[in-house]
A and B are shown apart, each in its own frame.
Chain A
Amino acid sequence: MTQTMSGAKMVVQALIDQGVDTVFGYPGGAVLPIYDEIFQQNSIRHFLVRHEQGAVHAAEGYARSTGKPGVVLVTSGPGATNAVTGLTDALMDSIPIVVLTGQVPTFMIGSDAFQEADTVGITRPCTKHNWLVKDTNELAATLHTAFHVATAGRPGPVLVDIPKDVQFADGTYEGPAKMKSHYQPQVKGDLDAITQLVEAMETAKKPIFYTGGGVINSGPVASQLLRELVAATNFPITSTLMGLGSYPAKGDNWLGMLGMHGLYEANMAMHDCDLMINIGARFDDRITGRLDAFSPDSIKAHIDIDKSSINKVIRVDIPIVGDVAHVLEDILKVWKARGRKTNSEGVKEWWSEIDAWRKIRCLDYKPGTKTIKPQYALERLEALTKDHDRYITTEVGQHQMWAAQYLGFNDPNRWMTSGGLGTMGYGFPASIGVQVAHPDSLVINVAGEASWLMNMQEMGTAMQYGLPVKQFILNNERLGMVRQWQELLHGERYSQSWSESLPDFVKLAEAFGAKGILCSDPADLDDAIIEMLAYDGPVIFDCLVEKHENCFPMIPSGKAHNEMLLGDFAMKGAIDATGSVLV
Chain B
Amino acid sequence: MNALNITKGSSSNSAYNLRSGHEDVIERHTLAVLVANEPGVLARVIGLFSGRGYNIESLTVAEVDHAGHTSRITIVTTGTPQIIEQIKAQLGRIIPVYDVHDLTVEGPSVERELSLFKVSGKGEKRVEALRLADVFRANVVDSTLDSFTFEVVGSPEKIDAFGELMRPLGLSEMARTGVAALSRG
Chain A contact residues, CB within 8 Å of chain B? 120-121, 124-125, 128-129, 132, 149, 154, 182-183, 285-286, 288-292, 306-308, 310-312, 315, 487-492, 556-559, 565, 582-583
B1 lies within 8 A of A129 (CB): no
Q: Whole-angstrom distance between the alpha carbons of A442 and B114 in the complex?
A: 67
B17 contacts the other chain (Cβ, under 8 Å)? yes
Number of A-B contacts (CB under 8 A): 84
Given contacts A182-B36, A558-B14, 16 further A-B contacts (CB under 8 A): A124-B40, A124-B44, A291-B18, A306-B93, A308-B86, A308-B89, A308-B90, A310-B89, A488-B2, A489-B13, A490-B9, A491-B9, A556-B13, A558-B12, A558-B13, A558-B17
The one of B3, B12, B92 that contacts A583, using a Cβ cutoff of 8 Å:
B3
Chain B residue numbers with a CB within 8 Å of A290 are 18
A121 in contact with B4 (CB, 8 Å): no
Q: Which residue of B lies closest to A491 (CB)?
A: B8
Q: Which of B47, B89, B96 contacts A307 (CB 8 A)?
A: B89
Number of interface residues of B (CB under 8 A): 37
Chain B residue numbers with a CB within 8 Å of A487 are: 1
The verdict on A558 contacting B3 (CB below 8 Å), with A120-B40, A125-B47 known, is no
Q: Mark B1-24, 1 if CB is under 8 A from A, else 0.
A: 111101011101111111111100
Chain B residue numbers with a CB within 8 Å of A310 are: 89
Known: A285-B15, A490-B9, A491-B9. A124 touches B4 (CB 8 A): no
> How many angstroms from the CA of A120 to the CA of B44 in the assembled complex?
11
Known A-B contacts A124-B43, A489-B6, A582-B3; A182 and B18 likewise in contact (beta carbons under 8 Å): no
Contact B13 A308 (CB under 8 A): no
Cα distance A556–B18 in the bound complex, in angstroms: 11
Q: Considering the chains assembled together, what is the distance between the CA atoms of A122 and B36 in angstroms?
A: 21
Do A315 and B18 contact each other (CB < 8 Å), given the known contacts A121-B43, A307-B93, A488-B3? no
CB of B90 within 8 A of CB of A558, answer no
Contacts of B40 in A (CB 8 A): 120-121, 124, 132
B123 within 8 A of A: no
- State A306–B86 Cα separation when bound (angstroms): 11
Measured in the bound complex, the distance between the Cα atoms of B54 and A354 in whole Å is: 42
Asked if residues B39 and A132 are in contact (CB atoms below 8 Å), the reply is yes
Give B9's nearest chain A residue, CB to CB: A491
B161 interfacial by beta-carbon distance below 8 Å:
no
User: What's the nearest-Cβ distance from chain B to residue A241, in Å?
Assistant: 15
Interface residues of B in 93-109 (CB under 8 A from A): 93-96, 98
Q: Write 23 A-B pairs (CB below 8 A) sorted by A numbering.
A: A120-B40, A124-B40, A132-B39, A132-B40, A182-B36, A285-B15, A285-B16, A285-B18, A286-B15, A289-B18, A308-B93, A310-B89, A311-B82, A311-B86, A312-B89, A490-B9, A491-B2, A491-B9, A492-B1, A557-B18, A558-B12, A558-B15, A565-B3
Q: Which residue of B lies closest to A286 (CB)?
A: B15
Tell me whether B51 is interfacial, beta carbon within 8 Å.
Answer: yes
Across the two chains, which residue of chain A brings its CB closest to B89? A308
Asked if B85 is at the interface (CB within 8 A of a chain A CB), the reply is yes
A307–B96 Cα distance when bound, in Å, is 16
Q: How far does the alpha carbon of A557 sit from the alpha carbon of B13 in the complex, in Å?
A: 6
Bound-state Cα–Cα, A132 to B39, Å: 9
A125 touches B92 (CB 8 A): no
* Complex Cα–Cα for A89 and B54 (A): 23
CA A367 – CA B14 in complex, angstroms?
Answer: 32
Q: Are A557 and B2 interface neighbours, CB within 8 A? A: no
| Closest-CB distance, A312 to chain B (whole angstroms) | 6
Task: Give per-residue flags for B105-142: 1 if the beta carbon is below 8 A from chain A beta carbons, else 0.
Answer: 00000000000000000000000000000000000000
* B interface, CB within 8 angstroms of A: 1-4, 6, 8-10, 12-22, 36, 39-40, 43-44, 47, 51, 82, 85-86, 89-90, 92-96, 98
Q: Which residues of A lie under 8 Å from residue B21 when comparing CB positions?
A: 292
Q: Are A291 and B20 in contact (CB under 8 A)?
A: yes
Q: How far is the CA of A286 from the CA of B44 in the complex (A)?
A: 28
User: Considering only CB atoms, which chain A residue lies closest to B5 in the complex?
Assistant: A582
Q: Chain B residues with Cβ under 8 A from A149's Cβ?
A: 95
Are A288 and B89 in touch, CB under 8 angstroms? no
Judge whether B19 and A291 touch: CB under 8 Å: yes
Chain B residues near A292 (CB-CB < 8 A): 20-22
Q: Which of B1, B39, B51, B86 has the most CB of A within 10 A?
A: B86
Asked whether, in the complex, the Cβ of B82 is within 8 Å of the Cβ of A315, the reply is yes
Q: Which residues of B contact A311 (CB under 8 A)?
A: 82, 85-86
In the complex, A291→B17 CA distance in Å? Answer: 10
Q: How far is the CB of B20 from chain A (nearest CB, A)?
A: 4
Give A286 to B16 CA distance when docked, in angstroms: 10
Give which listed residue, B4, B22, B86, contacts A489 with CB less than 8 A. B4
Distance between Cα atoms of A308 and B83 in the complex (Å): 11
Which B residues are in CB contact (< 8 Å) with A556? 4, 13
Query: Which residues of chain B are within 8 angstroms of A124 by Cβ–Cβ distance?
Result: 40, 43-44, 47
Most B CB atoms within 10 A — which of A125, A285, A565?
A: A125
Q: What's the nearest-Cβ distance from chain B to residue A564, in Å?
A: 11
Alpha-carbon separation in the docked complex, A583 to B3 (Å) = 7
Could you say which residues of chain A place their CB within 8 Å of the CB of B9?
490-491
For A120, give the chain B residue with the smallest CB separation. B40
A38 to B63, CA, bound (A): 41
Q: Nearest Cβ distance between residue A283 and chain B, in whole angstroms? A: 11
Q: Which residues of A contact B39 (CB under 8 A)?
A: 132
B51 in complex: contacting residue of A125, A129, A582, CB < 8 Å: A125
A292, closest chain B residue (CB): B20
Closest beta carbon of chain A to B66's beta carbon, Å: 18
Point out the residues of chain B lying under 8 angstroms from A492, CB to CB: 1-2
Residue of B nearest to A308 (CB): B89
Contacting residues, chain A, for B44 (C-beta < 8 A): 124
Which residues of B sit under 8 angstroms from A288, Cβ to Cβ? 18
CA–CA, A90 to B6, complex, Å? 35
Which residue of the partner chain, among B8, B18, B89, B93, contacts A558 with CB atoms under 8 Å? B18
User: For the complex, what is the distance from the CA of A487 to the CA of B2, rounded to whole Å?
Assistant: 7
